[in-house]
Structure 1
Amino acid sequence: MNNMATELIKTQGVSSTLKRRNTAQRYLDHKYFFIMLSPVLLYYIIFHYAPIYGVIIAFKDYKIMKGISGSPWVGLDNFKELFTGLYFIPVLKNTLIVNFYKLLFGFPAPIILALMINEVRKPLFKKTVQTITYLPYFLSWIVLSGIITEFLSPSRGPVNIILTMLEFKPIFFMASVDWFRTILVSTEIWKTVGFSAIIYLAAIAGINPEMYDAADVDGISRLKKIWYITLPSITPVIVILLILTSGQIINDDFDQIYNMLNAKVMSVGDVIGTYTYTEGIQKMNYSYAAAVGLFKNVIALIVVLTANFIAKRFSDETIF
């Protein structure tokens, strides 16, 4: 009996050793791919993982001259100030509202666009539509905010010129609390919808064409083919992207909002990103700003994990 146990242990040991050797050999066989990947790995190590050390200033009264290690510990005082202050809760509310609208209207938009482009039969027209729709993605928010401001200008913008011609009063859209969130959501969709649709077009391109041929033989309409073939086939991609996008419910687009924000719409447009910038950079309250950022990232992680857990309960497609 002891001999059998000894032999079994030896066999398992040899097996694990062989697995390690095989794994190491596979890495060596593909070493050039890892060399090509090294710049990306270095980028994440230097700019994403190494700075994690600085998170501890959220628990300190950080002083520049004393440095991170020399600054005194304050425990959870910054987080207490976070939840008892007058400004953070309205800012959190604005962030959740804006990002919820972006998720509600922005997430289905590229799916719908991809389905519409896929149904176009003329290649030249299809390429033209794709180019026009994803072109705004390559423009910075600094450029786009200037274009949007001019486009919606109450004195010379084409929208207000048309409203004046129809005998309506001009509307100062960029300074209106009723319109500002709508502008944020619509411009975000306009900028990203074409580029995001590429992912779904790639997923659609991977669908077996024999399924569509069989549907044609059965006389199924194009709308039913979309509903019963295309959408079910790209559902795994939709689910995974929905899980990843759900974390953005707490992460605002700082570039967009900062370049469009003005004093008139602070009550509805000031979000966590702009609030952190004001506290951390302008007021140099670094510890408090770090506490805000840490809180935001923890909430985003919880949202992603929750979305992944829910998806796992109802579907086999999850990120882990």
Structure 2
Amino acid sequence: MAPSDTDVSPATRAALGHILGSLGDLSGVELLTGGMFATTYRVSLADGTRVIAKTAPTSTDRLLSYELDLVRTEALVYGLAAGRPDLLMPRVLLTDFSRSILPADVVVATHLDGVPLLDRLTVTGEPVADQPGLQHDLGALMARLHTVTGTEFGYPNRAAGLSAPTWPEAFGRMVNALLDDAERWTTHLPSTEIRAALDRHRADLAGVTVPVLVHTDLWAGNLFVDAGTGRLSGVIDPERAIWGDPLFEFAGADQLGRGPVPATLLAGYSAAGAQPALGTPAGDTRLLLYRMYMALVLLVEIAPRGYQGDWVAGHRAAAESCLRAALDALA
């Protein structure tokens, strides 16, 4: 994320000062841009320390079902990573879920070293696919992340009601919640075909019996790299994390992807001691289901987020194409 020229209102600055009071006095607040859901501020303290304060909308009228209390999941995941420096995540400094100082949940975390990968790609023009070292690092990070296990499947945020004892049940709830959201926002989708694919491949989903921590959103905007080497140094924004199938991660990291998972990514995953289930009929089917799911997210969120601009039509067409490709392959 890059600093925005947009001024932070005096009221917001005062509220952040109150929330962060236990950490020190504020000397500066910058609004960061680049996120599509939350509002993020880089806060400088009087002693020179910089921290990140993240807020998320709480009004439910423009939220998808899975987005309820979403930033609380971020605090949960950072807490799980607190004793695991190999997971490369910030450390939570404080939270405010009272919604009494700001009309939002607030998570304050440490400021990561390094540079946002998205900023580096903008400067260098070198796509991630052409950076085997970075791909290898990301695969290894995924494998380490998937050693963290839970007790049930689905979204951790209880308000969403999208968790269950088994993966087929949890994933079914996740898909059907998106289809319900689509109906609420009059977004046309082949819902009957999607539900049929889900039912047809339930046995493949049932092969997943251990819920692992899946970030689900490991794209360039959520990764930090070392300024000198370009190697992976940090990971942010796990608010969409789920307890689920490790293969879900590969769909989340490339949400418009349709081809094979990059070999260097898989090599990093295997080098860290994990073995993905790709190359098996059940595993390949599950990856298609997760690509179907990610395409659904991208399509359904367009209306409630009020996306505007020349890019929207192309974005919608790309997501629709990915959804169709997944459904055709699943059939």
Query: Which range, TM-score by smaller chain?
Result: under 0.3
Choose between structure 1 and 2 for higher RCO, CA contacts under 8 A separated by at least 6 residues.
Answer: 1
Computing the radius of gyration from Cα coordinates, the structure with the larger value is 1
The structure where strand makes up a greater share of residues is 2
The structure where helix makes up a greater share of residues is 1
